[in-house]
């Protein structure tokens, strides 16, 4: 009976260690994905800012032509 409990504890301990390792890998993948998305978002924000600036210049040029 005690040996059965010991074996079950060993299996549970291995399972817990495996789960912890899988969690670490998942967290690392999530952090990597978050970093990539943050960089992508930053690039998009810069691009939108550039487009807004260009749009403002175009609108200004059109107003000058109308006058």
Q: DSSP per residue over the chain, as a string?
A: -HHHHHHHHHHHHHHHHHHHHHHHHHHHHHHHHHHHHHHHHHHHHHHHHHHHHHHHHHHHHHHHHH-
- pLDDT, position 2: 64
Residues 67, 6: Cα–Cα separation, whole Å: 90
Tell me the pLDDT tens digit for each residue of 8-49. 999 999 999 999 999 999 999 999 999 999 999 999 999 999
What is the pTM assigned to this prediction?
0.62
Q: What is the DSSP letter of 1?
A: -
Tell me the pLDDT tens digit for each residue of 24-33. 999 999 999 9
């Amino acid at each position: 009976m005690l040996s059965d409990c010991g074996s079950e504890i060993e299996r549970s301990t291995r399972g817990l260690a495996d789960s912890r390792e899988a969690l670490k890998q998942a967290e690392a993948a999530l952090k990597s994905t978050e970093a990539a998305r943050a960089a992508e978002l930053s690039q998009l924000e810069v691009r939108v800012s550039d487009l807004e600036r260009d749009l403002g210049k175009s609108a200004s040029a059109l107003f000058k032509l109308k006058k």
